[in-house]
């Protein structure tokens, strides 16, 4: 009986020891985990730039964060940018914080660091019992360049005359690579492009003055370098004011009954709306939607000048409506709407062949709301030509076309009352007067002479 009691007691002690050992093993396994903290730098660090703010996410889902340190090392000097110790729940439970998002700001002047190469370093440790309770540690560093000097802009083209609703060209150089540069006109940036000249520091920017902006519009060159430093440079320019014609278009029931069914798939006004209300929806809402679509399409332009010389117009054609004509739409003698005509209407015989005005790449070929069957040609560096109301399209998107290539036939698709070609020129999403681009003298004085002059001065060849 005595031996039986001893055996039971021994078994109980053994069970308790096993349980204790299991708990200790579980704790040790948990607290001696070897997974290091994770560091993610969300704003990409570049070896050629310094960012004013570095966004970092640090996490440790097992033991919790113990400490984070970040700093810059330059010229043998350590500059602390961020340092924080995190609290623990308890000796057994580990850290309270598992995730931390940091917005580390770098102000070189404030912390007394000069321009040049520096090393950004960040370390993080956790509450693991490894390394004699010092925890697991993650270490990350990246070489960056501190840059507080703005780029220098030098305007290389000399004369800059532009007509209201017209276009032009500015040639300039910048002292360092800049992801953003161009000519600001009335608050709108016309991007500059390198690649035309063999010297990549030289940029060309096709510019445009919207028809509604007059002689008081401000212009200047601007550039922002990789470090975020910006600079501006003025240049001499002259703006010639221009008045645009007023036009009246009478809308009849016959026209509405004929045209509106074409737009049922584009915009669907209420079923009970009158024909007039449906027309206004097309002339206002759909027109605005089409314009936004065009703006999106011309955001991407090849970094190459495909065209050369004056642009051609539709052969043996008469002008039926001018650029920026201010149109009043009348129905039963009352003005019901007002819009601006952003192109030139050219009429010849029905279904006339439509040639490419100059060499380029087909950027769009299809139906475009009020414009009907439309072609958009990319001539490079942000310059586009547009051909609308076509009855037939004979080229596909992506095809290169030469000047004079027949691309389709005139027609009356879209909001056209008769067979004609609506022809437009766009410079970086701004419609401009096509008449300038049909003029060989204007091309020479405002485009080619500037390019030739810079090429001669820089000994880069000829246009």
> Is pLDDT larger for residue 422 or for residue 463?
422
CA distance 122 to 35: 17
CA distance 170 to 151: 18
Burial zone of 294 (CB within 10 Å; 0-12 exposed, 13-18 middle, 19+ buried): buried
10-14, 327-331, 389-393: lowest mean pLDDT where? 10-14
Which class is domain 38-146?
Answer: mainly beta
Q: Which of 120, 121, 122 shows the shortest CA–CA distance to 146?
A: 120
Residue 129 is predicted with a pLDDT of 74
Contacts of 64 (CB under 8 A, 6+ apart): 86, 88, 89, 94, 95, 96, 97, 98, 126, 127
- Report the percent of the chain where pLDDT is more than 90: 65
pLDDT (tens digit per residue) in 59-102: 988 888 889 999 888 888 888 999 999 998 877 767 788 888 88
Q: Average pLDDT, whole number, for the chain? A: 89
Beta strands 246-251 and 325-331 are: parallel
Cα angle 135, 137, 143 (rounded to 5 degrees) comes to: 165
Helix residue ranges, H only, 166-304: 253-259, 275-280, 287-297
Architecture of domain 153-242+447-457: Sandwich (2.60)
Task: Kindly report the backbone phi and psi dihedral angles of residue 407, in degrees, each rounded to the nearest multiple of 5, phi listed first.
Answer: -110, -15
Residue 47 is predicted with a pLDDT of 46
Residue 463 is predicted with a pLDDT of 40
Strands (E), 285-418: 318-321, 325-331, 334-341, 344-347, 353-355, 360-367, 373-380, 383-390, 392-393, 400-401, 406-409
CA distance 88 to 252: 80
CA distance 135 to 46: 30
Residue 43 is predicted with a pLDDT of 65
pLDDT (tens digit per residue) in 196-217: 999 999 999 999 999 999 989 9
Residue 48 in this model has a pLDDT that exceeds 60 = no
CA dist 322 → 246, 251, 317 (Å): 10, 19, 13
Beta strands 360-367 and 373-380 are: antiparallel
Residue 231 is predicted with a pLDDT of 96
Q: Which of 410, 374, 407 shows the shortest CA–CA distance to 391?
A: 410
Per-residue pLDDT band for 462 (boundaries 50, 70, 90) equals very low
CA distance 291 to 297: 10
For the chain, the domains span: 38-146, 153-242+447-457, 246-431
Q: Does the global pTM surpass 0.75?
A: yes
38-146 and 246-431, same CATH topology = no
CA distance 170 to 156: 8
Cβ proximity of 64 and 88 under 8 Å: yes
CA distance 78 to 111: 11
CA distance 334 to 132: 90
**Helix/strand/coil for 434:** helix
pLDDT (tens digit per residue) in 245-301: 999 999 999 999 999 999 988 877 555 678 999 999 999 999 999 999 999 999 999
Residue 109 is predicted with a pLDDT of 77
pLDDT (tens digit per residue) in 218-247: 999 999 998 888 999 999 999 999 999 999
For 184, the enclosing helix (H) or strand (E) is strand 180-185
CA distance 139 to 118: 17
49-53, 109-113, 200-204: lowest mean pLDDT where? 49-53
Residue 461 in this model has a pLDDT that exceeds 60 = no
Mean pLDDT, residues 106-121 taken together: 83
The conformational region for residue 156 under phi > 0 = left, psi -120 to 50 = alpha, else beta, is alpha
CA distance 63 to 88: 9
Residue 117 is predicted with a pLDDT of 87
Task: Kindly report the backbone phi and psi dihedral angles of residue 284, in degrees, each rounded to the nearest multiple of 5, phi listed first.
Answer: -105, -65
**Residue 146: how many other CB atoms lie within 10 Å:** 18
CA distance 411 to 64: 71
> Is pLDDT larger for residue 14 or for residue 378?
378
CATH 1.20.910.10 fits 246-431, yes or no: no
């Amino acid at each position: 009986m005595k031996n039986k009691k001893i055996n039971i007691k021994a078994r109980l002690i053994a069970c308790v020891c096993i349980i204790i050992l299991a708990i200790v093993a579980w704790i040790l396994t948990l607290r001696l985990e070897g997974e290091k903290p994770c560091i993610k730098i969300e704003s990409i660090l570049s070896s050629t730039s310094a960012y004013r703010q570095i966004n970092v996410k640090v996490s440790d889902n097992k033991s919790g964060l113990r400490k984070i340190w970040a700093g810059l090392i330059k010229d043998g000097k350590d500059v602390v940018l961020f340092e924080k110790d995190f609290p623990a729940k308890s000796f057994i439970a580990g850290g309270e914080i598992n995730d931390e998002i940091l917005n580390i700001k770098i102000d070189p002047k404030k912390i007394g660091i000069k321009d040049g190469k520096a090393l950004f370093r960040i370390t993080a440790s956790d509450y693991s019992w490894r390394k004699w309770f010092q925890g697991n540690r993650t270490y990350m560093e990246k070489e960056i360049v501190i840059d507080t000097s703005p780029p220098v802009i030098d305007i290389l083209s000399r004369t800059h005359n532009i007509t209201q609703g017209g276009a032009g060209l500015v040639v300039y150089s910048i002292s360092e690579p800049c992801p953003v540069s161009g000519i600001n006109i009335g608050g709108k940036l016309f991007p500059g492009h390198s690649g035309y000249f063999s010297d990549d520091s030289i940029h060309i920017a096709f510019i445009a003055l919207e028809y509604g902006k007059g002689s008081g519009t401000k212009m200047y060159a601007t550039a922002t370098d990789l470090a975020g430093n910006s600079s501006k440079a003025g240049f001499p320019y002259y703006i010639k004011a221009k008045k645009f014609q007023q036009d009246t278009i009478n809308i009849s029931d016959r026209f509405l009954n004929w045209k509106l069914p074409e737009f049922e798939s584009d915009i669907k006004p209420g079923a009970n709306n009158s024909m007039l209300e449906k027309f206004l929806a097309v002339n206002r809402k759909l027109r605005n939607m089409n314009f936004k679509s065009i703006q999106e399409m011309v955001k991407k332009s090849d970094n190459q000048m495909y065209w050369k010389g004056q642009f051609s117009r539709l052969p043996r054609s008469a002008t039926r409506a001018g650029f920026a004509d201010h149109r009043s739409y009348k129905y039963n003698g009352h003005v019901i709407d007002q819009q601006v005509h952003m192109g030139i209407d050219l009429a010849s015989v029905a279904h006339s062949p439509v040639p490419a005005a100059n060499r380029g790449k087909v950027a769009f070929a299809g139906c475009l709301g009020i414009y009907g069957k439309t072609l958009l040609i990319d001539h490079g560096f942000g310059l586009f030509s547009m051909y609308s109301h076509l009855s037939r399209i004979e080229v596909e998107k992506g095809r290169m076309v030469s000047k004079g290539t027949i691309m389709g036939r005139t027609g009356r698709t879209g909001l056209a009352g008769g067979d004609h070609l609506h022809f437009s020129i766009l410079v970086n999403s701004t419609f401009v007067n096509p008449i300038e681009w049909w003029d060989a003298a204007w091309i020479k004085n405002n485009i080619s002479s500037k390019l030739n002059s810079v090429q001669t001065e820089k000994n880069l060849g000829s246009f």
